[in-house]
Amino acid sequence: MVRKASEADLPAIMRIVAETVRIMAAEGNDQWNDEYPRAEDFRTDISKEELFVDEEAGAVCGFVCVNREEPPEYGPVPWSRSRSATVVHRLAVDPDLRGRGIASILMRFAEETAAGNGTGYLRSDTYSKNPRMNGLFEKLGFRRAGDINFKGRRELFHCYEKVLDHSSGPRVDSAVARR
């Protein structure tokens, strides 16, 4: 079940972050590290009610931040729409639970949020050295809109978008995808 995150979820979230950083480093991916994301980032997300967790049997399986805040680096990207978008940030799944569709559930939740808040449009980014997230965007029908330099990394970040409104494609089903 996807629900709003609370302060009580922070230890589980930070455990997932630590494991994710360890795996990313082993794979040569420095998108996340000891400096980002930090507990303070998630506390801010929680206080703004923008962080959501997928929970099963009382355990946090994964998380995602969904809001309408775009990094200034998005400015020069040739997006297909100039209107406001719903933006996906900081998505991760417990490494022990990968392959169960949890990331897709969280992304479908982001799609529902975009459909429900009137934007009907999602944007996000991920590091070019993050094959899992790039693959997820492609699998879920996102279009790569361009590349940016971001967070002082040597490699580029790929920017993705997905238009959900009826004028440019199918609407998102109103039910969050289930396992």
User: How confident is the prediction along the chain (179 residues), in pLDDT tens digits per residue?
Assistant: 999 999 999 999 999 999 999 999 999 999 999 999 999 999 999 999 999 999 999 999 999 999 999 999 999 999 999 889 999 999 999 999 999 999 999 999 999 999 999 999 999 999 999 999 999 999 999 999 999 998 888 899 999 999 996 444 333 333 343 33
For the domain that residue 155 is a member of, what is the CATH number? 3.40.630.30
On whether residue 168 sits in a domain, the answer given is no
Within a domain: residue 73? yes
State residue 165's pLDDT score. Answer: 66
Residue 175: inside a domain: no
Q: Which domain holds residue 124?
A: 2-163
> Is the residue at 15 inside a domain?
yes
How many structural domains does the chain have? 1
pLDDT digits (tens, 9 = 90+) for 42-75: 999 999 999 999 999 999 999 999 999 999 999 9
Q: What is the DSSP string of the chain?
A: -EEE--GGGHHHHHHHHHHHHHHHHHTT--SS-SSSS-HHHHHHHHHTT-EEEEEETTEEEEEEEEES---GGGTTS--S--S--EEEEEEEE-GGGTTSSHHHHHHHHHHHHHHHTT--EEEEEEETT-HHHHHHHHHTT-EEEEEE--TT-SSPEEEEEEE-STTTSPPPPSSPP--
Does residue 100 belong to any structural domain of this protein?
yes
Report yes or no on 134 lying in a domain.
yes
How many percent of the chain have pLDDT more than 90? 87
In a domain, 179, yes or no: no
178 is a domain residue = no
pLDDT attached to residue 144: 98
